[in-house]
Amino acid sequence: MNDKQNAFTGSIVHADSLPDFNRRGLLKAGAGLTLAVMAGPVLTACAEKGAGTAATGGPLAPGAFVRIGADNVVTVTARNAEIGQGIYTGLSTLIADELDADWSQVVVEAAPANPAVYGNPAFGPNMQGTGGSNSIASSWDAMRQAGATARTLLVAAAAQEWKVPAGEITVSKGVVSHAGKNKSAKFGELVGVAAKLPVPKDVQLKDPKAYTLIGKDAARVDAVAKSTGTAVYTQDIKLPGMLVAVVIAPPRFGATLKRFDAAAAKAMPGVSDVVAFKHSVRDGVAVLAKDYWTAKKARELVKVEWDESQAYKLSTEKQFAEYKALAAKPGVEAHKEGDVAKSGAVRYVEAAYEFPYLAHAAMEPLNCVAHITANGCELWTGAQLQSMDQGMTAALLGIKPEQVKINTLFAGGSFGRRSNPKSDFVQEAVAIAKAGGNGKPVKLVWSREDDMRGGFYRPAFFHTLKAGIDAKGELVSWQHRLVGQSILEGTPLMPPGLPIDPLSVEGAANMPYAVPNLLVDVHTPKSPVTVQWWRSVGSTHTAFSTESFLDEVARATKKDPVELRRSLLAKHPHHLEALNLAAEKAGWGTPLAKGRARGVAVHECFGSVVAQVVEVTQLAANKYKVDRVVCGVHCGRQVNPNIVAMQVESAIGLGLGAAISGGITLKDGAVVQSNFHDYPVLRMNQMPAVEVHVVASEDKPTGIGEPGLPPIGPAVANAIALLSGKPLRKLPFSTAGVSFA
Amino acid sequence: MTTLDVNGKKLETDASPDTPLLWVLRDNLNLTGTKFGCGMAQCGACTVHIDGRATRSCVLPISGLEGKKITTIENVGAEAVGKAVQEAWIAENVAQCGYCQSGQIMSATALLAGNKQPTDADIDAAMTGNICRCATYVRIRAAIKRAAAALA
Ligand code: FES
Ligand code: FES
């Protein structure tokens, strides 16, 4: 891809790339703000940045992550996808700090798909992708080293040019200086010399006290592009000759295409073809046309017959009845301590919990542009698991993975959906391009309905919990049984030799509370309904059951929920610190007005612990408002506190929406919901005030994209249980007639 | 041919008259800042101004739009209110994935154009039609208040 195309994809961004905005994003006095200024020069200008010239030499590119041009532009190559979590800003912060660059000279480009170079070390060898809230943790060392290496070379170049010892040279905000000789140079003036020096193997990293960007609130590099409509997503890609494809997908999971009649659709002006497609996940019919509206109208004219002999035909109630029956029998053991049969319990508390399938419903419905060429295939998409996308595309086309070029674009949200373990929507675009593209690029666009009914949901789960209480009122046994589909089974990502999918029981098998007798087991029913990780994965359900059941134990033993947790968390200092911080900041234990209550929950995932105390007001018999969420967070050192807070706010919003009204149900196997009118998500009026307090820590950073989500549902349920006297055990709460203002 | 007045320019399109404005903007006029989220007036991602009013363009056929002034995210900053809103959005680091934000900014601008000092209830009423799956709502609220203060 040449620079012009690169510019077109919009993969390079920086606040400063818009002339009207300075780094903090405030308009310079008197500057105009017009379309011409914003859309035109920005993206093209950026792509030409960071290069060397014949006169100056360079660029300086010691390694794969940073490149400094004669024009002083520091280009960060991001191996993680920007799906909203702020990772372009985070990776740049690590590099720019060690480099002592000025924040305004940094731009970001998406890495090409090249797992050997841009693989995610947390995913094992040669796996390029973004997920598991690990992007900062897995880049903490590598990106700082990349910045320090470039800095070392610039200093060495200056030392050579100025004939001074390297140790006497300082670097600050993009300027290299020697005080004694009164010399200074911008990076760009040194890259020619620096690029010719040997790249050092070991570089000195900064003393944290010297950080200039890490731990500060660097402005997001994508703030301007995303506030002016200039950020480019897959949906915005338009290539010469490109066709837009819409699909007719099977009405039930496991149904296959029998035949179709597209005569009327093909006769419509602007329709180029109607074709059958097939890939490893499903088959169907695609309409290819000059634009979306034409394709969508033509789609309504196609008559399709399906073979539903192997299709899934259960309804949700029947599915849960089967799950309940399974839960009556012992499952495969996931964790055991002591012996729950010999705990000395004199009484038991029991409860069962139901969790529906959840659609990710990211704001940008799924899409992908595929162009099959003589040399391979080029993709443009908000790719989140490039290795899988390359491999699946290659398998479908009978080519090598390295012949699949991926232009990773901004994703309009994901919550996990774009890192599909079977690359379903990428395969679909490629399969359609193969069947009907005729060498032209094809943009597959799913409607909201296609997206919502397209499967790969957070699996539905049924849990039972049983706690044993001894004569003194102490918790002496804990049994947790889970029933739900595996996410990893049947994908290349299932760890070999494991009896159970660890994602099914995470958050339950490792529950932190000190109970002497513990048994966690799991049933893994199979189903053609496709499932996938959804922001915080297993913890989306295990935290709810664990944390709301613990409150049931607290009520049954007349203990304060925070006190009970404290007493059981002595071996988990991070949990305690997060819990204590949240409880203190929320004023736990102080009186509230009548009709209001607090609820608490604490949960660890992806290496971080988040505790939340919520305040809920009862507005009417079955109507509530979540007023405030106070969070205590332990996530190691914060690279960007503002983005940490943003991620916790975001996770609370997504998790609260799911808890109060989110759910995919099936009727005779067909997905009932189709759009936001019947799959309600959290809206502005329902968003609580959020306070994020972070435990000061010098530890390595841990995850923050997901850990804010698991506690919100149970914390709200715990508050409501106090107000109504009725615990909410079935998700979403709307199924019990409970609504939220 | 339909002639539309978009961002102060007269633009012609041969799209069929039943085509929603959203798709004419995006596919025919290459104004891709306005986003597709739901196609049924549920999410607000496609919000534009028609004669100054925040309107969902995904359900608005172009047939009735001749003679009306259409403003999109690409030009909303040309007016003081839109400019203040965009500045506030950047200063508050509102955007996460960013996909909903064109629509949010168009709704917020229409709100502030008619109501200089919106209360929280006014903000809820004006913005509840705009979904943000990244749940940037706390910052959207803060940015609207920041813009209101800047315009005062
Ligand atoms: S796309 Fe128009 S309201 Fe959702
Ligand atoms: S910023 Fe992602 S949907 Fe609003």
The predicted-structure confidence for A347-381, as pLDDT tens digits, reads as follows 999 999 999 999 999 999 999 999 999 999 999 99
A654/B38 touch (CB, cutoff 8 Å), yes or no: no
The pLDDT tens digits of the residues spanning B88-102 come to 999 999 999 999 999
pLDDT at A550 over 70: yes
pLDDT per residue as tens digits for the range A259-289: 999 999 999 999 999 999 999 999 999 999 9
Domain layout of chain A by residue ranges = 3-228, 234-309+366-445, 316-357+457-740
CA A299 from centroid of its chain's CA atoms: 32
Residue-level pLDDT at A709 = 98
Chain B residues with CB-CB distance to A410 below 8 A:
97-98
CATH class of B2-71: alpha beta
Distance B103 CA to ligand 1 centre (A): 9
Give the B window 75-114 contacts with A, CB below 8 Å. 75, 77-78, 83, 86-87, 89-91, 93-102, 105
Question: Which of B25, B58, B72, when mutated, tests ligand 1's pocket best, judged by the most ligand atoms within 8 Å of its CB?
Answer: B58
Whether A232 and B140 lie within 8 Å, measured CB to CB = no
Residue B96 CB less than 6 A away from ligand 2: yes
On the question of pLDDT at A23 being above 70, the answer is: no
CB B51: neighbour CB atoms within 10 A? 12
Q: What pLDDT, on the 0 to 100 scale, is given for residue A491?
A: 87
Shortest Cα distance, chain A CAs vs residue B107, angstroms: 12
**What's the confidence (pLDDT) of residue A606?**
97
Q: Ligand 2 mean position to B135 CA, how many Å?
A: 7
Specify the pLDDT at position A233: 98
Q: Indicate whether A292 pLDDT > 70.
A: yes
Q: What is the pLDDT of residue A14?
A: 40
Instruction: Tell me whether residues B123 and A684 touch, CB distance under 8 A.
Output: yes
Q: Are A365 and A447 in contact (CB under 8 A)?
A: yes
Which pLDDT score, from 0 to 100, does residue A124 have?
Answer: 83
Rg (CA), chain B: 15
Closest atom, ligand 2, to C-alpha of B135: 4
What confidence category does residue A49 fall into, taking pLDDT thresholds of 50, 70 and 90?
low
Chain A residue with CA closest to B20: the answer is A293
Name A236's Cβ contacts closer than 8 Å, sequence gap at least 6. A10, B26, B32
B32 to chain A: closest CA residue: A236
- The three-state secondary structure class of A561 is helix
Architecture of domain A234-309+366-445: 2-Layer Sandwich (3.30)
Residue A399 CA to its chain's centroid (Å)? 30
Q: Is the pLDDT score of A668 beyond 70?
A: yes
Specify the CATH number of the domain A3-228.
3.30.365.10
Query: Coil, strand or helix: which one is A155?
Result: helix
Task: Determine whether the interchain pair B131/A222 forms a contact, defined as Cβ–Cβ distance below 8 Å.
Answer: no
Q: What is the pLDDT of residues B52-66, one digit of tens each?
A: 999 999 999 999 999
Judging contacts by C-beta atoms under 8 Å, the chain B residues touching residue A299 are none
Q: Do A361 and B133 touch (CB under 8 A)?
A: yes
What span, in angstroms and rounded, lies between the C-alpha atoms of A616 and A622? 12
Question: pLDDT band at residue A20, thresholds of 50, 70 and 90?
Answer: very low
The DSSP output letter for A410 is B
pLDDT at A409 > cutoff 70: yes
With a 6 Å cutoff on the Cβ, whether B97 touches ligand 2 is yes
| Chain B residues lying within 8 Å of A27, measured CB to CB | 83, 87
The C-alpha atoms of residue A400 and residue A397 are separated, in whole angstroms, by 9
CATH architecture under which domain A316-357+457-740 falls? 2-Layer Sandwich (3.30)
Mean pLDDT, rounded, of chain A? 93
pLDDT digits (tens, 9 = 90+) for A137-191: 999 999 999 999 999 999 999 999 999 999 999 999 999 999 999 999 999 999 9
Q: So what's the pLDDT on residue A16?
A: 36
Rounded Cα–Cα distance for residues A313 and A255 (Å): 10
Rounded mean pLDDT of A431-445? 98
Angle at A35 between CA A31 and CA A40, to 5 degrees: 100
Rounded-to-integer distance, Cα A130 and Cα A113, Å: 12
Q: B76-151 belongs to which CATH class?
A: mainly alpha
pLDDT of residue A15: 35
pLDDT for res B132: 98
Residue holding tokens 């943003």?
A646
Query: What does the domain layout of chain B look like in residue ranges?
Result: 2-71, 76-151
Chain B: closest CA distance from residue A117 (Å) = 26
User: How many angstroms does the Cα of residue B77 sit away from the middle of ligand 1?
Assistant: 21
Please, are residues A674 and A449 in contact by the beta-carbon 8 Å criterion?
yes
| Best to test chain B binding among A13, A16, A35, A217 (most B CBs inside 10 Å) | A35
Name which of A707, A538, A700 is nearest A611 in CA terms.
Answer: A707
pLDDT the model gives residue A58: 79
What is the mean pLDDT of the segment spanning B91-120?
98
Is residue B40 very low, low, confident or very high in pLDDT (cuts 50, 70, 90)?
A: very high
Closest CA to A404 of A395, A394, A413, A396: A394
Taking the alpha carbons at both ends of chain A, their separation in whole angstroms is 50
Kindly provide the b/e burial profile for residues A656-685, where b requires at least 16 CB atoms within 10 angstroms of the residue's own CB. bbbbbbbbbbbeebbbbbbbbeebbbbbbb
3-state SS class at A259: strand
- Residue carrying structure tokens 């988990």: A572
Nearest-CA residue for ligand 1 atom 3 is B41
Pocket lining: B6 vs ligand 2, CB cutoff 6 Å: no
Kindly state the average pLDDT of the residues B1-30: 97
Q: How do beta strands A183-186 and A175-178 pair?
A: antiparallel
What average pLDDT does the structure give for chain B? 97
Atom from ligand 2 closest to the CA of residue B96: 1
Of chain A, the percentage scoring pLDDT greater than 90 comes to 91
What distance in angstroms lies between residue B100's CA and the mean position of ligand 1's atoms?
10
Taking the C-alpha atoms of B71, B72, B74 and B78 in order, what is their torsion angle to the nearest 10 degrees?
30
Q: What's the pLDDT tens digit per position in A86-144? A: 999 999 999 999 999 999 999 999 999 999 999 999 998 889 999 999 999 999 999 99
pLDDT bin (cut points 50, 70, 90) of residue A703 is very high
A7 pLDDT band, cuts 50/70/90, is very low
What is the per-residue pLDDT for A57?
Answer: 81
Cα-Cα-Cα-Cα torsion A250, A676, A410, B104, nearest 10 degrees, comes to 160
- For A713, counting Cβ atoms within 10 Å of its Cβ (0-12 exposed, 13-18 middle, 19+ buried), the class is buried
**How many whole angstroms separate alpha carbon A235 and alpha carbon A282?**
23
Q: What is the mean pLDDT of residues A698-724?
A: 98
Q: What is the pLDDT of residues A638-659, one digit of tens each?
A: 999 999 999 999 999 999 999 9
Question: C-alpha distances in angstroms, A198 versus A62, A191, A234, A627?
Answer: 9, 13, 40, 58
Nearest CB among B26, B128, B134 relative to A413 is that of B134
Q: What is the pLDDT of residue A492?
A: 83
Residues of A in contact with B61 (CB under 8 A): none
